[in-house]
Structure 1
Amino acid sequence: MKRYNLSVKRIIFGLIGSYLLYVLLTAVVLFGFYSPDIQATVFEQESAYEYFRSKDRVALVDDGVKAGMARLHVIENATSSLDISYYSMQGGDSVPVFFSTIIDAADRGVEVQILLDGIFHNLRGKDRDMIYAVEKHPNIELRFYETLDILRPWTWHNRLHDKFIIADQEVALIGGRNIGDKYFASDGYQDAVFDRDVMIKRTSEIEANQISAIDEMIHYFQLVWEHEYTAPATNNLRNRQVKKAENSLEKLRETYILWQENKPLAYQETIDWGKMFHPTNGVYFVHNSLERGHKEPNVWIELVRLMEQAEDSIFLQSPYIIPTDNMIRFLNVENVTADDITLLTNSLAATPNIVAHSGYRNHRKDLAGRDLNLYEYQGPNDSVHTKSMVFDKQISAVGSFNLDARSTFLNTESMVFIDSESFAHELIEKQEQTILPNSLPVSPTGDYHPEYEEMAAPVSSFKRGLAFVTTILVQFFEFLL
């Protein structure tokens, strides 16, 4: 019997070890051999700006509370359709409020399509009942993009990272925020994040052979919605799930009523959204392709194009900056001639993602030693989650794209590009008022300038030690960060 038990254990451990080796080879090592075909991309592909230059109007949504209000405003004012795409529901009261507002819209007859990432949607445990609720509603359909497949580990990296809402094919909201309290909190909220959205409003000023950026967003949403990698949330609700769905629907309807009656003071402000819009010379939408494995890095290609075309200034802000060799191959550094280049990311004190930050730390000294200004946001209780860029104080880019290999080659990503001096001015002004005053410049040695060292936010010994170890380890797989 002992020999039998030992043999069974050996078989089990052998199977587990074989599976882990299989995962290592197909989900890690395989991706390390990728080498992009640049000739087939940058040099043959023309900018989307040449084709889709509609003069949609745009509004910057920078403040967290206003960002929450903007989402509710767009959903509550929808009359016919809502297309919603998000990476993750990240907890707090804002998640049930978000879904309760969607239920209320569907009760009014609005047709709703919700698309979430199939692994990191976070609707589990008690929140899973909300899946049943929206599935039960006749006017709502929920789908997941690329659910977990343990037999094909290479699909695990094919994540849906888009974050946008389209209402009535007339108004859209796109940016870097997931749904969670930390993205929509008022000042003083512990672990809040700075992020940024753009509200887009269709106009009738469309030239021949050009379409609204909102039409491009709708086309992309339907492309993902109908894709073979996308699946319904549930095929059919079982009796027990139907009961949970009915209870959850009732709770969400009650949540919406209570929210209307007891909104936090910060959410009771009346906003004239119309006055926030800027005129534009052109707006266009860019997204990555949808292949598994490595994608055509369309967003990165467009950003590289704008970097090389910029004459005076470039401003790049991302929570993670990890310029891998495959990313840099698309960029001819000699063609980047702007005099004023600024990069802004999180410091070790501010970052909530040690692994991604460790990837950045391997490039920190090299970046700081170049002819640019590198800043790190210090917190104290916040982190930067914004993905936004401004070129020559004229063309702005806002969306879901991080400056790393994962956003470049692995995730679905989308950004809106805006040609508007007044919008760019507001974005830069907000940046200078909120984030830059709490950021420190990094010297060419890879440290803070001596005169600023005392201003650096404190970092615990544990976090500093963890970063030291992970900075060494991630060198071997930064192509997945």
Structure 2
Amino acid sequence: MHRVLAAALSLPVAACATLSPAQHERAEAIAMAARDTTVDCARADHCAAPSPLRALAGQAFAASAPATPRHYALILDEGGEALLARLDLIRGATRRVDLQTYIFDKDDSARLVIDELLAAARRGVKVRVLIDQLSAIADLPILAALGGAHANLELRIYNPTFGLAKPNYLHYAASVVCCFRRFNQRMHNKLLVVDDAVGIAGGRNYQDDYYDWDAQFNFRDRDVLVAGPAARAMERNFAEYWNDRRSVPVERLRDVARLLLEQGVPALPPAQPQRPGRVELISRAASDAGLVRERLAARALPVGAVAYLADLPEKHHGDPGSEGAGAAGLASLLAGAREEILLQTPYLVLSDEALEIFRGLRARAQPPRVVVSTNSLAATDNPIVYALTYKYKRRHVRELGFDLFEYKPFPRDPPVDPALGAWQPGAPGTDPGPTVARSELPGGSVGGSRGSGQERQVQDKLRTETRPSLLRASAPANRPVPVTGSGPRMGLHAKSMVIDRRIAVIGTHNFDPRSETYNTEAAVVIDDPAFARALAASIERDIAPGNSWTVAPRARPPVFSGLSYSMGKVLEASPILDLWPWRYATNYAFQPGPDCPLPLPRRDPDFHRCYVAVGDFPEVSLGPKSIFTRMLTAFGAGLVPIL
């Protein structure tokens, strides 16, 4: 064991010694010399395509004054529309495209975006792409190819472990041992800004399962498009990260530089989409200005002031309380609630600060109603985090008074549109099964192969955002649990909040300790009743009976009810997972009928007459013993700070 630890600790030194400064400079020179400088367009607008979404910015700026900014804002609920909006804006860019993200894969949707960014660069648009290292493109030849592709395209990697684009298992192990905090300081922001005029922010990364294109598991996510002066604040925040010392040009990373020295700049492999039809479909749709106007631009709402609450990279330099910090701003909004909070988060793990805020709200003479939409065990991509949620279910329901709803893996009415290539949850014939080759499924790599062995396991688990890919791949307890249904399923990934039907928040913050302490986060805040009502309607659709189960106290048992409650509360405070068999609350499904025409709140006297208990883990295809064994393993393996 000591020898293993010593070897792990020696890796930083070995990694630092791989290339000399002169070799780094030569590799950088190779990439720069290979970059194409040809520009395909001589027009001032760089041959930008007509973009109805880009045009919204012109209208917003024309209606704005310094003291009275005006914006257009659009909720992007459907994955297909979120991808369509990105393509429309990139094609409509006249000067600059800045993209910041946590995950960038190399599957159908991600490769499509890469090709669109390259096309924009070749017609003269300045393109900057910043990706967090933990989930960046896991392919050195592709990274090297992009590093030397065009003079108008720059790619940087944020906080690379030991200066590497693609660390191996031993590098990850060494980073946890030698520099745990730095390794866990991740850039969780997701942002696309075009021409300092239009921005998209929210929960979506660049991977098929964020756009309803994965045949097994897709995220129910949400973005917001903002056109107008607030895009300048988004651009300024992006520039802070781009110029930070943790953002390293891809050609300066040690493994990419070594490849450049050995092979020069490789050609970008040709796109080989796993489902070419849907790629062609969405590309054609993005070229149809009328369709984009009808489906997206026409639904944008005029709003006034918009704030971009975003952490600065100084959060990773020992100054978490720096001006503009997202967590501080969100805490202030929560504390100011008067009547109602609608909160949607995939991982309901509250920090101490959040607990204090919710307890303070609950202690008021007239506390606001708090509605929380989160994942069930069957829907979550992260059972470790759900284990913590399960442990504190009594606290959430009884002590904090949450009206809690858990998302179903096969929701009846999800925001999914097959017209843009999406998989419907539970659609027949879409479950690949264990005998189907990976190359036959959507979500494959640029070259039609996702690698093999341990590398494939790591890449296939990148969809889980809350833990490093190494830990996810090596911990079976943290893989999505098997479910009773077949076909693609869904899990919540949206991070949103509505306060008093007036203030709307859409962003990347999971309202958890990791978001507050380790990650940098960002959120768009819009103070507008009409937009807030639209976001509230979106969340309420997710908590409707066909899409979520209601969490409510069990019907009181005839005997030992006080003892059972007390034991559960005592065990909840213990450092182990609370497995007391008589839980305070469980999941319920609505049973409509002549006497129950409409869903009821859990506090209604007729609730238990109209709702039937479906157990703590509905639709999970495991026995109780297996579930608890897995959750115990997950709970023991998971450290709260890195969740």
TM-score in same-fold range (> 0.5): yes
Do 1:132 and 1:242's aligned partners in 2 also have CA atoms closer than 8 Å?
Answer: no
**Where do 1:272-351 residues align within 5 Å?**
272=293, 273-290=296-313, 291-292=315-316, 295-296=320-321, 298-329=325-356, 333-334=360-361, 337-351=366-380
Do 2:351 and 2:511's aligned partners in 1 also have CA atoms closer than 8 Å?
Answer: no
Tell me what 2:216 maps to.
190
How many angstroms does 1:429 deviate by? 2.1
Q: Secondary structure at the residue paired with 2:154?
A: strand
Tell me what 1:262 maps to.
280
Alignment of 1:442 with 2:551, yes or no, is yes
Compared CA separation, residues 115 and 73, structure 1 to 2 (3 A) = same
Compared CA separation, residues 294 and 322, structure 1 to 2 (3 A) = farther
How many angstroms does 1:140 deviate by? 0.6
Q: Which of the residues 461, 465, 469 maps onto 2:622? A: 461
Q: Secondary structure at the residue paired with 1:342?
A: strand
Tell me what 1:84 maps to.
99
Q: Secondary structure at the residue paired with 1:79?
A: coil
Distance 2:233 2:283 in 1: 37
Q: Secondary structure at the residue paired with 1:263?
A: helix
Compared CA separation, residues 107 and 330, structure 1 to 2 (3 A) = same
Alignment of 1:12 with 2:3, yes or no, is yes
How many angstroms does 1:114 deviate by? 0.5
How many angstroms does 1:396 deviate by? 0.4
Compared CA separation, residues 423 and 262, structure 1 to 2 (3 A) = same
One-letter identity of the residue aligned with 2:292:
I
How many angstroms does 1:19 deviate by? 7.8
Higher deviation after alignment, 432-441 or 400-409: 432-441
How many angstroms does 1:302 deviate by? 2.1
Do 1:135 and 1:142's aligned partners in 2 also have CA atoms closer than 8 Å?
Answer: no
Q: Secondary structure at the residue paired with 1:379?
A: coil
Compared CA separation, residues 174 and 232, structure 1 to 2 (3 A) = same
Q: Secondary structure at the residue paired with 1:118?
A: strand
How many angstroms does 1:17 deviate by? 8.1
Compared CA separation, residues 223 and 432, structure 1 to 2 (3 A) = same
Tell me what 1:209 maps to.
none
Tell me what 2:402 maps to.
372
Compared CA separation, residues 107 and 332, structure 1 to 2 (3 A) = same
One-letter identity of the residue aligned with 1:194:
R
- Superposed CA deviations along residues 312-353 of structure 1, whole A, max 9, x for unmatched, are 211000000111325434666147655321011000010011
One-letter identity of the residue aligned with 2:639:
F
Alignment of 1:168 with 2:195, yes or no, is yes
Distance 2:551 2:284 in 1: 36
Compared CA separation, residues 280 and 346, structure 1 to 2 (3 A) = same
How many angstroms does 1:454 deviate by? 3.4
One-letter identity of the residue aligned with 1:234:
E
How many angstroms does 1:179 deviate by? 0.8
Do 1:300 and 1:408's aligned partners in 2 also have CA atoms closer than 8 Å?
Answer: yes
How many aligned positions are there? 423
Tell me what 2:446 maps to.
none
Tell me what 2:639 maps to.
477
Tell me what 1:430 maps to.
538
Q: With structure 2 as the length reference, what TM-score do the two structures score? A: 0.60
Do 2:197 and 2:231's aligned partners in 1 also have CA atoms closer than 8 Å?
Answer: yes
Q: Which of the residues 143, 153, 169 maps onto 2:180? A: 153
One-letter identity of the residue aligned with 2:100:
S
Tell me what 2:491 maps to.
383
Tell me what 1:43 maps to.
none
- Superposed CA deviations along residues 141-161 of structure 1, whole A, max 9, x for unmatched, are 111111113353321111010
Do 1:182 and 1:192's aligned partners in 2 also have CA atoms closer than 8 Å?
Answer: yes
Q: Structure 2 unaligned runs (5+)?
A: 12-65, 163-174, 411-488, 554-583, 589-607
Q: Percent identity, aligned pairs only? A: 25
Distance 2:74 2:154 in 1: 29
One-letter identity of the residue aligned with 2:232:
D
Q: Secondary structure at the residue paired with 1:447?
A: strand
How many angstroms does 1:76 deviate by? 1.1
Do 1:65 and 1:267's aligned partners in 2 also have CA atoms closer than 8 Å?
Answer: no
Distance 1:467 1:261 in 2: 38
How many angstroms does 1:473 deviate by? 2.0
How many angstroms does 1:197 deviate by? 0.6
**Where do 1:135-150 residues align within 5 Å?**
135-149=148-162, 150=175
Distance 1:454 1:11 in 2: 49
Q: Cα RMSD over matched residues?
A: 3.1
How many angstroms does 1:93 deviate by? 0.7
One-letter identity of the residue aligned with 2:321:
E
Tell me what 1:42 maps to.
none
Q: Secondary structure at the residue paired with 1:138?
A: coil
Alignment of 1:63 with 2:78, yes or no, is yes
Distance 2:9 2:90 in 1: 48
Distance 2:74 2:225 in 1: 5
Compared CA separation, residues 133 and 260, structure 1 to 2 (3 A) = farther
Distance 2:161 2:238 in 1: 21
Q: Secondary structure at the residue paired with 2:127?
A: strand
Q: Secondary structure at the residue paired with 2:292?
A: coil
How many angstroms does 1:225 deviate by? 0.7
Distance 2:327 2:97 in 1: 28
How many angstroms does 1:220 deviate by? 0.9
Q: Secondary structure at the residue paired with 2:134?
A: coil
Q: Secondary structure at the residue paired with 1:87?
A: strand
One-letter identity of the residue aligned with 2:369:
D
Do 1:86 and 1:161's aligned partners in 2 also have CA atoms closer than 8 Å?
Answer: yes
How many angstroms does 1:91 deviate by? 4.9
Tell me what 1:238 maps to.
260
Distance 1:243 1:265 in 2: 28
Distance 1:357 1:438 in 2: 18
- Superposed CA deviations along residues 7-60 of structure 1, whole A, max 9, x for unmatched, are xxx87346258789xxxxxxxxxxxxxxxxxxxxxxxxxxxxxx9984322111
Compared CA separation, residues 435 and 170, structure 1 to 2 (3 A) = same
Compared CA separation, residues 260 and 16, structure 1 to 2 (3 A) = closer
Distance 1:472 1:431 in 2: 29
Tell me what 2:391 maps to.
362
Q: Structure 1 unaligned runs (5+)?
A: 1-9, 21-50, 203-211
Do 1:163 and 1:176's aligned partners in 2 also have CA atoms closer than 8 Å?
Answer: yes
